[in-house]
Amino acid sequence: MSRPALFGLSLFLIFIWGSAFNFIGVAVDHISPYWVTAWRLVVAALFLSGYAVFKGRRFPPLRDARWLWYGALGMTGAVIPFLLIAKGQISVDSGLTAVIVGAMPLLTILLAHVFTDEKLTLFKVVGFLIGFLGVAVLFMPDDPGFGLTGDWPSQLMILGAAFCYALTTVAAKRAPKTHAETGSAIMMIAASIAGVIAAVIYDPGGHVPNAVALTMILLLGFGSTGIATILYLVFIDRAGPSAMARLNYFPPVVSVIIGVWFLSEPFTWKLVVAFAVIIVGVMISRVGRPSLSTQRTDLPDRGRPRPPIPAVRPNRD
């Protein structure tokens, strides 16, 4: 994939993930978080399954390892973190939640260092720490007391969600190769089943959305969950976990911009400072990164499982 195409894909992912925070914020005023999660996963599963069939993709037999791999990615990348965050936010405000989830890129580069050939460098560590500082600045309250020890069980649940996102990003790179349409459909089929079961257990009476909630659910299901899952797998395959980790610093900034522009939320200096800090962090983390011309740009055969990982892997960083 060319550099302009990868850049365009990055911008699109940032926008649809950033807007998801706003859609969720509106939806949970009308329907419980458990059913927002369940319905968005159902919509995404139907959309992605239909899209895969439309593209002529065939689902593998149930005994195929791809069902296990991508089904597990659906659990760690959607159901578990969605529910952990929903549960944690009962007693943790959204600002602190955003800061805790902002640890996801840091966790990703640590996991990638252990389980992939994307090794840590000094510039990468410093850059990601600066990026995390940018997220913290963005959601810093007027009263700087975050109360990090106030409700540590709920905060630990949110950190667990960040770890799930990081684990999914790294595991997706190691999953058996398949078409992005097929892999994303399998992810959402498994996730939607688990999401509905969890919603029935935790909130059996709150499942009927009104017109506003239904609109938000459709936007979340088709865009932020459905289309984004396909592009997420494509991006990781082309650019790797560390690049995806860098991308995840920007959706909160987009969410705040949308809130200011469309929801009449106040504009503050924090937005400008946070965006500048994140940009600096991302630039530092890319120092020493090989140019696009030295990276693999050919498309793998997505119909066959990936060959075994060799015992010694080259250090591309």
Instruction: Look over the chain and give the mean of its residue pLDDT values, rounded to a whole number.
Output: 79
End-to-end CA distance of the chain: 19
Q: What is the pTM of this model?
A: 0.73
Higher pLDDT, 299 or 122: 122
Nearest to 117 by CA among 314, 287, 289: 314
Give, to the nearest 10 degrees, the angle between helix 3-27 and helix 228-239: 140
Instruction: Give the pLDDT of residue 96.
Output: 63
- Per-residue pLDDT band for 5 (boundaries 50, 70, 90) equals confident
Boundaries of domain holding 39: 3-294
Q: Is residue 134 a contact partner of residue 277, using CB atoms and an 8 Å limit? A: yes
In a domain, 50, yes or no: yes
Rg from Cα positions in the chain:
19
Within a domain: 250: yes
Q: Across residues 273-292, what is the average pLDDT?
A: 69
Distance CA 234, CA 17 (A): 15
Average pLDDT over residues 172-197: 92
Predicted pLDDT at 254:
80
The torsion of the CA quartet 233, 236, 242, 245, rounded to 10 degrees, works out to -30
Tokens found for residue 314: 């080259």
- The Cα 181–Cα 38 span in angstroms is 21
Number of independent structural domains in the chain: 1
Q: Look at residue 253 and tell me whether its pLDDT is greater than 60.
A: yes
Degrees, nearest 5: CA angle 168-172-154: 0
In this predicted structure, the answer to whether residue 76 has a pLDDT above a threshold of 80 is: yes
Give the pLDDT of residue 142.
Answer: 58
Q: What is the pLDDT of residue 91?
A: 73
The letter for the amino acid at 78 is A
Instruction: Tell me whether residue 311 is in a domain.
Output: no
**pLDDT at position 299:** 37
On the CB side of 185, CA atoms within 13 Å amount to: 19
pLDDT, tens digit, for every residue of 9-53?
988 998 888 888 778 878 888 888 889 889 999 999 999 999 999
Least confident of 51-60, 180-189, 269-278: 269-278
Domain-located, residue 213: yes
- 306 part of a folded domain: no
Whether 120 is covered by a domain: the verdict is yes
- Spatial distance between the Cα atoms of 264 and 15, rounded to a whole number of angstroms: 19
Determine the pLDDT at residue 60.
Answer: 92
pLDDT band with cut points at 50, 70 and 90 for residue 115: confident
Q: Which of 71, 60, 63, 61 is nearest to 303 (CA)?
A: 60
* Predicted local distance difference test score (pLDDT) of residue 53: 93
Residue with tokens 């395959």: 237
Please check the confidence at residue 70 and state whether its pLDDT lies above 90: yes
Is pLDDT of 266 > 50?
A: yes
Of 78-92, 185-199, 291-305, least confident by mean pLDDT is 291-305
Q: Residue 300 falls within a domain, yes or no?
A: no
H or E element at residue 85? helix 80-88
Report yes or no on 308 lying in a domain.
no
